[in-house]
Amino acid sequence: MLYSAKSDSGAGDELQRTETRLQHRGIFVHLAVSSATGRIHSRKRESLPMASTSRPSATLTSPGYLMPFVTVTALFFIFGFITTLNMALVPDLRRIFDLDYAWAMLAESAFFLAYFVFSAPSSKLIERIGYKRTMVVSLFIQVVGCALFIPAARLVNFPLFLIAIFLVGAGVTALQTSANPYVAILGPEHSAPVRLTLAQAFNSIGAAIAPLVGGAFILSGSELEVPKSVIANEVRGPYIAIASGLLLLGLAVAFSHLPPITETQSFRPGKPGDAATTHSIWHYRHTVLSAVGIFLYVGVEVGLASIAVNYFKSQGMSSLKTASFLVSLYWLGAMVGRLLGSWILTKVKSGKLLGAFGVAGALLLGISMFTSGGVAIWTLVLCGFFNSIMFPNVFALGIVGLGPLTSKGSGLIMTAIVGGAIIPYLLGAIADKIGIQHSFALPMACYLYIAWYGVWGSKPKRIVTV
């Protein structure tokens, strides 16, 4: 166990412990509440105890929690779908506004910048109004963002498009911040990994379907020589439908019975003066390097998906619908890799597997850079499979040994999702200068860093003990 707390043998007070474990076959997040007299020490790491394996159980949720779990799992599908659908806008925005790749990639930057801006406020909102109400608020924020696409398309206004995308990103940020921990504690602790894996699979399904929707509706007229206002208006229909669906879903969640989980307030960082707050998370090298890894990983995953349609066209693919279908296979590969990786992680250490997948991703992009046609296309599509286990493993390795500082470490790592706002823009800027194919040198370097982190950089130099 990464962190444990024991009451003094002579004390009469009963130790209160609230523990949640977020596991994705390699993710363990242990958060506990110790007695006020507990002391935290940092020491150089010699060896780290292995996390205990949960006893298998057929129980998925606690009695009466099945329907709440189904409801929240539907939200995972929603933010997976919307996050990926946003990437389908890039080719249309380039054509509507005569943008180069860098400026078109601002659509991704606006979305993922919301993670950097709203992650901490979302946590505060949860503490103030609870998980259920935060989910409802997040869905209504997304409704407002989707509704803004209507005037943005009518006025053919690029800044208004970016504002709409930013608002949708803010809603998705709040939704993820509330839904992830909530689904983990809707049942027995030992079955939390099952619930999280299933919920994340629905996220991947949403991500795989979104490019098909984008190809069928948003990109449907992009191959024709039509006025730009007509292309812009194609965006209105899908986002009106999405806004309507989100509004109905928000009302359904508002009137549904989602049990209040108040114990999770104990997972927050300690109050000023507590022992945990006296230690800076920046002193833990493996955690800081993990944040860098998440920054690069999210940027690469989003950047490749966003530029894929244009890249496939440059390799001779004439149909945008076919290109969008291949992007959906990119995301489907991530889902398959996630499920297969869960089994592989029972046989291989997470650091080694992360290193192997990072090297594989770099090799695939290297092949894509120096080939053409079908080989260049399919090697990029296969990168989706090797992206699959990167986020959970980089995250898990980054919080190893943090004990009561885990929430601080998690906050730092999650903030690094802003890489999805920066790396795609840099990728687009390089593509404008030297071409898409040669711009892959940037994501190759990111993959190699992730491989290095898995094998060497993730080894803690110090851990937290009581």
Q: The tokens 């919307």 sit on which residue?
A: 82
Instruction: Let me know whether 366 and 239 are in one domain.
Output: no
pLDDT reading at 449 higher than 70: yes
Q: Is residue 196 part of a domain?
A: yes
CA distance 187 to 192: 7
pLDDT category, 200, cuts 50, 70, 90? confident
Hey, is 435 helix, strand or coil?
coil
Instruction: Let me know whether 100 and 192 are in one domain.
Output: yes
- Say which CATH number the domain at 337 has: 1.20.1250.20
In this prediction, residue 124 carries a pLDDT of 78
Question: How far are the Cα atoms of 107, 329, 392, 417 from residue 110, in angstroms, in the given order?
Answer: 5, 25, 24, 12
List phi, psi (to 5°) of 420: -65, -15
Q: Is residue 229 part of a domain?
A: yes
Instruction: Let me know whether 241 and 348 are in one domain.
Output: no
Domains in the chain, number: 2
Instruction: Let me know whether 324 and 409 are in one domain.
Output: yes
Question: How far are the Cα atoms of 149, 294, 401, 446 from residue 287, in angstroms, in the given order?
Answer: 38, 11, 10, 17
Q: Is residue 13 part of a domain?
A: no
CA distance 32 to 268: 10
Q: Is residue 323 part of a domain?
A: yes
Instruction: Let me know whether 324 and 197 are in one domain.
Output: no
Which residues on adjacent β-strands are paired with residue 173? Answer: none
Instruction: Let me know whether 214 and 79 are in one domain.
Output: yes
From 263, 288, 323, give the residue that closes a domain: 263
Instruction: Let me know whether 259 and 290 are in one domain.
Output: no
CA distance 147 to 140: 10
DSSP structure class, residue 222: T
Instruction: Let me know whether 243 and 285 are in one domain.
Output: no
From 218, 235, 263, give the residue that closes a domain: 263
Nearest CA among 249, 309, 289, 241 for reference residue 413: 289
In this prediction, residue 251 carries a pLDDT of 92
Q: Is residue 269 part of a domain?
A: no
Q: Which domain holds residue 316?
A: 25-40+279-466
Instruction: Let me know whether 152 and 226 are in one domain.
Output: yes
Q: Is 255 exposed, middle or buried (0-12, 13-18, 19+ CB in 10 A)?
A: exposed
Reduced 3-state DSSP string for 240-304: HHHHHHHHHHHHHHHHCCCCCCCHHHHHCCCCCCCHHHHCCHHHCHHHHHHHHHHHHHHHHHHHH
CA distance 418 to 302: 11
Q: Is residue 455 part of a domain?
A: yes
Across 424-450, b (16+ Cβ under 10 Å) vs e yields bbbbbbbbbeeebbebbebbbebbbbb
pLDDT reading at 45 higher than 50: no
Instruction: Kindly report, residue by residue over 285-336, the tens digit of the pLDDT.
Output: 999 999 999 999 999 999 999 899 999 999 999 888 888 899 889 989 988 9
pLDDT reading at 5 higher than 70: no
Instruction: Kindly report, residue by residue over 337-392, the tens digit of the pLDDT.
Output: 888 887 787 788 889 999 999 999 999 999 999 999 999 999 999 999 999 888 87
CA distance 321 to 327: 10
Instruction: Let me know whether 290 and 245 are in one domain.
Output: no
Hey, is 34 helix, strand or coil?
coil
Rounded to two decimals, what is the model's pTM? 0.69
Q: Is residue 56 part of a domain?
A: no
* Axis-axis angle for helices 236-255, 66-85 (nearest 10): 160
Instruction: Let me know whether 316 and 443 are in one domain.
Output: yes
From 263, 294, 310, give the residue that closes a domain: 263
Hey, is 352 helix, strand or coil?
helix
Binning the chain into helix, strand and coil, the percentages to the nearest 5 are: 70, 0, 25
CA–chain centroid gap for 451, Å, is 19
Q: Between 399 and 349, name the one with better pLDDT.
A: 349
Instruction: Let me know whether 318 and 179 are in one domain.
Output: no
* Average model confidence (pLDDT) across the chain: 77
Q: Is residue 447 part of a domain?
A: yes
